[in-house]
Structure 1
Amino acid sequence: MASDSKKKDLIADAKNFCDGMSNVFMLKKRDPQTRHLLEKAKHLIESLIADNQKLSSSSNVGVPRQQRSGGGMGQLWVQLDELKRENQNLRRQFGKAQDDRSTTQKGQGPGEVIIAEHHRFKQENDMLRSQCEKQQTTIKEMESINAKLQEEYKSARIALETTQKSMETILKDYRSMESNLKSVKTENESLKSRLSKQTRPLMRNDSLSKNIENISEKCRPTNIAFMYNTLESQEWMDAKEAMEDESDFEEENITQFLCAVLMEAFQTSKELHSALKSAIAELIRKPTLAICPTIFGQETRKLKLPDDISDGVSQQLRQFCDDLDVGVLVNMLSEKLKNNYSEYVEQGVLENKAVGRYLHESARITWQMAIQQPPMCLSIKDTRFDDDKHKLWWSCDQSRAARIDFFIWPALYDYENGNLLIKGCVHAS
């Protein structure tokens, strides 16, 4: 009875295994090697079952006991296929090639192959799943960065649109201002022409003539005042620093010397202008002197030109003021300095390049002051400090300034006792 029970169990297991093999065969029919093994196993099991049934029928054996719910190998194949499909999906995500064929080695049975494949795919799936999680984490980080960049892009775009609108508004304003400037220039030219025509008939002795400036002339008091200001901030400052570096004089002495140079240049220009008018008057009185080569070497008589001729001469001098040979004026100025400020000359101050530029620019500007009608005025006559006419030197105390010790920079007027154009700089105590 025990042997019959064992045979019945064996037949039931064989049938279950055969059914499992049939299911595996349906799932693995794409693999030639597995297909061959399954067909051979099925054929052997079916033959054994048939032979056993013949023996059972001949010996009239009872009905075998209920079959066990086996199919273990079939379930392994099913799990293996599920793992392979999952592996294939993971490989597809990472762009790796997929090989469906099992790498069965010779000498291994179907069960061992299934178990080996099961373990291999499970390990590979774990590894790919870990990589997939890392990639997903990276993707989330990139999405966060992308979101921030999109916000920044939106802000930048809004700023750009705002800037473009501002630029459009500015361009419109610029075009409007440009148009207004053209119209103002046209109107200005018209006013210049009208004013020039209206000022020509005015007589020199008219009380209004001193307060009227011909804006059509380049050499006029307003422009001269601007050049005078520039002279103080550039050439005067360079000359002062050069003397401080190359001589032993104190700052107080240097500033007084440079102020004296400017006043001497102004006086020399006035003398040249006066001599020119006297020479013209002498030539008008004696025209034949024009061919005498020594006329300008002789002392001419102190004659006075008529007012209308004097005005005309000054106008012509202003028109050609840039053609003046400044070197002659500088030579006349240098001779005066040698006589009156010999201690500075002996130390080679006049040979300094910065001082030389200051002498030339002083002569050029003071000449343009002298040929105005009436002449402009440089003044260092004040003895009491007046905040309306003077500015204090940096080292002086504003609260105690009362008496002027000396001038550092002369005050400029449009004519003598006229309107103040540039304040004088003084040292006061």
Structure 2
Amino acid sequence: MLNHAKLVSTELRERNKGLVPIHFKRPGDTASIPEIEEVISTFESRMQDVFNVINERDAEIKYLKSGNSTGGVQSAGIQDYRQRLEEKNKELNTLKIQLTEAQKGQSKNKGNEFEKQQIQELRERKNSLEKNFDLARKQIEDRSKEIEKLKRCLDQFDEESSKTKKELKAKIKDNEDLRTRLSQVAGAKLVAGNTSIADLGDKFRPTRIAELYSELYDNDWTEAVDNFSKQEWPEEVIVQHLFITLQGCYIACSQLANQQLQDLVQKLSLDTSSQDGITKFRESHTTEIRQLVDARKGTARDVANSISKNLYKNQKFDEVLRSYKWMKDDIVRQITKLTFFEKCVTVCWLMVVQDPEMYIADNLRPGMKFNKEHYREYTKSGPKVDYSVWPALYLHKNGPLMIKGVAQACD
């Protein structure tokens, strides 16, 4: 029995020689993660071999238990082997834990390194953006300075342009004034005393005055005759007094107009020494005198309204009427209160402010040959003139006929 046990023990020792060794060198604390992973991988490989051997031994133990008593001794050896294996397995678990912690640390370190790399990239990007920003800001400042410079140049240009425009406008105005004055001088010399040239801009030019003169006879003169026919005066007497009233208005207005122009020229020249000096001044300032004449024409209507209020008191008017011995003050006084008298003054003033002044005839005398080319017959026909009813109107003295006069004819 004892010999059999020894035999079994010897057999186990021989078999144990074939067991896979599980010893390994423990990595140091400073070992790197790849080194630890290599040790663990080697250890796991050997552990697998150990498990394979254990499985084989378990099979043998079952066999020995079933055949002889030597199985107890083999089981004791295997138990010891299992204990040693568990210790190594614990060491393996410890190494796995260390590996996991090392991997976490490495992962954390890797994360920190990645974060550091990102931070470094962000810093570099930030520095690049700051450089670009500074460059852009400098460019903007340069452009702003350039814009300000251009603005100043533009303002200066605008100022110079405005100044040039004003100067050009002044020059143009001066040029236009010179042209206007030249035209006025030429026109004044051409028109002065030239009745063949009509000023179409004059609303009281000779043709219009001739129309007013004709209307005065057709309307107001006829109305005046009708008013006086209700009284005891014969029609012939009324007609003759209306005629001399018109003559008195024309002659008085002519005298006032000549005196007015002479006074204006004298005031303008400030020369009161002689009539010759005023005449020379008028001849040397044709344009200016023409302007005075035009100014009188422009104010003629208003001046006429003022004159008509007191013309019956005018000395010249009174002289003209009293030159006719048969004149009756009572009839003249009534005529000066009529619209006819007021319109006579207006039309006569418009006539005398023309250049030259228009002319109404006063050369008819009783017994003269009746000139049908210049006069119309009143109520009777005949070869001779009995008396004047309405004077003929001419463009100027000895000028062309504008409106035929009316006269009573007789045999």
TM-score (norm: length of structure 2): 0.47
Q: Taking structure 1 as the reference length, what is the TM-score of the superposition?
A: 0.45
